[in-house]
Amino acid sequence: MVLKGVRGKPFENRYERKRSEMFGDPEDRMRMLDDLAWNWKGIVAKVLKDKFNRKLFFRKPNNEDLYRLLSLRTWTLRYKLPLDEVLTVVLGFWDNVVNKRRTRILPKQRGLGCTIPCLCGDRSEELIEEYIKKVRAERLR
């Protein structure tokens, strides 16, 4: 039995479409995500080099850390902060935490000073939210 629509045409069930029609080719989407991640890695590396005189290293040659860096992009868009301000807040905290745990403090730090999962983790997002609350409170005074 074919269901009829309002004008007598066969009823089209929108939930029976193929996934490829709805969302596009999965391989194309993954290629686009990879391109976005690699472009964002370049932007983060440039900001780290110019503003902080640090270099972005990857310990593991996998895409997990590359995709984790996209959370920095999400935070810049969500909280409407520039990338260098986000990195200032997050790296400032992690530098203090890591330097307290080290037996000696390195005078010239070349890398981030923390791992990429720490840099892009939940605690870092909480730091950014606390920073925004503090800045807004100061503006209201």
The angle at the Cα of 109, spanning 89 to 63, to the nearest 5 degrees, equals: 70
pLDDT tens sequence across 80-132:
999 999 999 999 898 877 665 555 555 566 777 788 888 999 999 999 999 99
DSSP letter string, 87-99: HHHHHHHHHHHHH
Q: Who wins on pLDDT, 131 or 140?
A: 131
Going from N- to C-terminal start, the domains of the chain cover 23-140
pTM of the model: 0.74
pLDDT at res. 1: 47
